[in-house]
Amino acid sequence: MTVALVSMLRAIALSSVVSLAMAKSACAETITKNVVIIGGGASGAHAAVRLREDFDKSVIVIEKKSHLGGHVATYTDTSGKTYEYGVQSYLEVGEAVDFFARFNITVGVPARIPLTSVYADFSTGQNISDYVAPLAADRSAALRRFLAAAEPYESMLLPGYWDFPAPEDIPEDLLLPFGEFAQKYDLLAAMPQMFQVPGPGVPDWVDAPTLHVMQVFGAPMARALTGAAPTFTPTGEDNSELYRRITALLGEDVLFSSTVTKAERNGDGVKLTVTGADGKKTKIVGDRLLISFEPTPDAMAPFDLDEAESAVFEKFTHSKVFAGIVKHPSLPANISIVNTVPTAAPDNYLSFPEAPILARFDYMGAPSDLFRVLIVGDDTLDVDGAQKLVRDSLSALLEAGTIADGDIDDLVFAAFVDHGPMHLRAGLEDIKGGFIQEQYALQGHRSTWYTGAAWSVQFTTLLWAYNDVLLPKLLESL
C-alpha cells in the first residue's frame, strides 16, 4: 500500500469519525419527553413536579427567564434582610401546605407590619384629607356579604371553568357591572380594600362584569380577608426558596433563558424548536404540550395557531403589571400612601383612579426603610413608563407638601420587575356568546393543554388546585 493510499484511507476514516461525532451531537440536541411544559412560574413549576414525581412522567420545562417562580420577587438588602415585592402570601387551599412540606419548607401565619394609610391624589400630590375610609367593622361585614353573594358561583370558577354555564344559563349577577353588583349586595364598604387586590388589574373595574372581578377576587380571597380561611407564608426562608428547591430537584429538566421559536403540533404529539439566549437551538419532541404562560396572541405566535386557537386568543385583552422597591428620604416610615381620587371623598366608595395607575407606596420595614410599589397599565406601558409614573407621583407628593420636602433625584429604584401581561379576559359580549366554552374546548386540542392564570384565577395555590384537576385529564389523553 502506497503512502498516498494510506493517508487517503486515514483521511476517510477520520472524516467518518467526525461525521459520526457530528451526527451524535445532532442527536444530543433532540430531547424527547412525555410532557413539554412552557413556563416555570407558579403553575408550570408545580405541574412539572407533580407530573415527574407523582405521575412518573418525563418532563422538560422551557422557561424564558433565568429562574423559576414567575411573579415571586425577593430583594435582599445589604444587611441580608429579605423583602418580598411580588407574591406575598398564600391561600390555604387543597394540598398547598403539603406542597411546601415536600420541599421541607415550613409555613406559618404571615407577619404584617401595621401601616397607617394616608390618602393622596397621585396626579396632583394633594392630600385627600376629607376622605373617610370605611370602618373596619363595616368593611368586614361588607366582605362577609360579598362572600355570601360570591359563594353560589364559586364552583363555576374554581378550580377552573370546567363547569361554567352555557351562555343562556350564565347567572345575571356575573354579567352585572361590578359597581351594580356591589350596590345590589351592599358591598360598598368593602370596595376600597378589594380595589387594592384586583381593582388595579381590572381597568375600570366598577363597570367591568362581576365575572372579571371574581376571576381575581372571588370567594377564597373574601374568606381569607374575613379570617374565615387561613393564609400562610414560608417561615424559614423567603418566598423564592420554594422555586430554588424545585430548580434543584428538576435539574437538567429545565431549560432556562429559552423560548419556543417554532412548533408543529397534531393529535399525536408536538415537535418544538427551542432557542436559548445564546442562540443555541434544541429540538424537543413531546407526547403532550402544557402551556402555562399568559397566552396573549404575541406569546402564542410561534405555536402555529389554527383558526379555533387564534379565534380564542385574539379575543383576550390584558393588563401589564410592574412591581418594585423604592427608597426616598421623604417617604415616611410605617405609612401606606394610597392613590385616591378627590371624587372619592368623603365616602364615595365607587370612585377610583384609572389605569395606568401606581396604586400606593407601602412601607416595607427597617432597617432599609424601603417602599413597595405596584403599577398597572395597558399593553403600551413599559418599564420606563411605569418608573416614570412612580417618579411623577412622588414628585407631585413632594411639590404638594403631602410628604416632607425633598429632592426627587434622591429617588432610588432598589428593585423593579416587569410582570408582563396579566389578567387576560374577553369582553362581555364574547362571554355571552360562549367564549369560556370556546376557550376550554382548546384543552387537549392538537396535544396541547393549558394551565395558568388565564384558565382559572390569579392566585398561586388556587392554580395548584386547578392543576390537580387538569393533570389527570392530560394524563388520560396520553
Ligand X SMILES: Cc1cc2nc3c(=O)[nH]c(=O)nc-3n(C[C@H](O)[C@H](O)[C@H](O)COP(=O)(O)OP(=O)(O)OC[C@H]3O[C@@H](n4cnc5c(N)ncnc54)[C@H](O)[C@@H]3O)c2cc1C
Among 35, 36, 37, 44, binds ligand X (CB under 6 A): 44
Among 31, 33, 70, 182, binds ligand X (CB under 6 A): 70
Question: For residues 470 and 260, what is the distance between their CA atoms, to the nearest angstrom?
Answer: 23
Instruction: Say if residue 192 is preceded by a cis peptide, omega within 30 of 0.
Output: no
40 is a site residue for ligand X (CB under 6 A): yes
Among 88, 106, 129, 261, binds ligand X (CB under 6 A): 88
362 is a site residue for ligand X (CB under 6 A): no
- If binding means CB under 6 A, how many residues of this protein chain bind ligand X? 33
Among 36, 39, 99, 289, binds ligand X (CB under 6 A): 39
Choose the binding region for ligand X from 303-311, 343-351, 356-364, 454-462 (rule: CB under 6 A).
Answer: 454-462
Q: Which residues pair with 358 in a beta bridge?
A: 375
H or E element, residue 184? helix 178-184
- With a CB cutoff of 8 Å and minimum separation 6, the contacts of 286 are 32, 33, 34, 35, 36, 60, 269, 270, 271, 272, 447
Q: Quick one: 374 or 397, whose CB is closer to ligand X? A: 374
89 is a site residue for ligand X (CB under 6 A): yes
Shortest separation between residue 349's beta carbon and ligand X, angstroms: 23
Q: Quick one: 275 or 447, whose CB is closer to ligand X? A: 275
Binding mask 366-385 for ligand X (x = CB under 6 A): --------x-----------
Q: Which letter does DSSP use for residue 323 in this model?
A: E
Shortest separation between residue 44's beta carbon and ligand X, angstroms: 5
Residue written as grid cell 493517508: 7
Shortest separation between residue 214's beta carbon and ligand X, angstroms: 14
59 touches 39 (CB < 8 A): no
Q: Quick one: 62 or 474, whose CB is closer to ligand X? A: 62
Cα three-residue angle 358-363-369, rounded to 5 degrees: 120
Shortest separation between residue 223's beta carbon and ligand X, angstroms: 13
Choose the binding region for ligand X from 2-10, 161-169, 378-386, 453-461 (rule: CB under 6 A).
Answer: 453-461
Q: Quick one: 74 or 460, whose CB is closer to ligand X? A: 460
Q: How many helices (H) and strands (E) does the chain have?
A: 17, 18
As to burial, measured by CB atoms within 10 angstroms (0-12 exposed, 13-18 middle, 19+ buried), residue 1 is exposed
Among 74, 340, 402, 460, binds ligand X (CB under 6 A): 460
Q: Quick one: 52 or 419, whose CB is closer to ligand X? A: 419
Choose the binding region for ligand X from 60-68, 183-191, 311-319, 331-339 (rule: CB under 6 A).
Answer: 60-68
Q: What are the cell numbers at 338?
A: 394610597
User: Which residue in the shown chain puts its C-beta closest to ligand X?
Assistant: 41
Among 32, 55, 58, 65, binds ligand X (CB under 6 A): 65
Q: Quick one: 134 or 198, whose CB is closer to ligand X? A: 198
- With a CB cutoff of 8 Å and minimum separation 6, the contacts of 430 are 315
H or E element, residue 4? helix 3-28
Choose the binding region for ligand X from 61-69, 129-137, 242-250, 467-475 (rule: CB under 6 A).
Answer: 61-69
Question: For residues 120 and 394, what is the distance between their CA atoms, to the nearest angstrom?
Answer: 11
Question: For residues 352 and 361, what is the distance between their CA atoms, to the nearest angstrom?
Answer: 16
Q: Which letter does DSSP use for residue 209 in this model?
A: B
DSSP character string of 395-461: HHHHHTTSS----GGG-EEEEEEEEEEEEEE--HHHHHTTHHHHHHTTTTGGGEEE-SGGGS-S-HH
Choose the binding region for ligand X from 82-90, 93-101, 261-269, 395-403 (rule: CB under 6 A).
Answer: 82-90
90 is a site residue for ligand X (CB under 6 A): yes
- With a CB cutoff of 8 Å and minimum separation 6, the contacts of 17 are none
Binding mask 243-282 for ligand X (x = CB under 6 A): ----------------x-----------------------
Q: Tell me which residues touch ligand X (CB under 6 A).
A: 38-44, 62-65, 70-71, 86-90, 259, 292-293, 299, 321, 323, 374, 419, 452-453, 458-461, 463
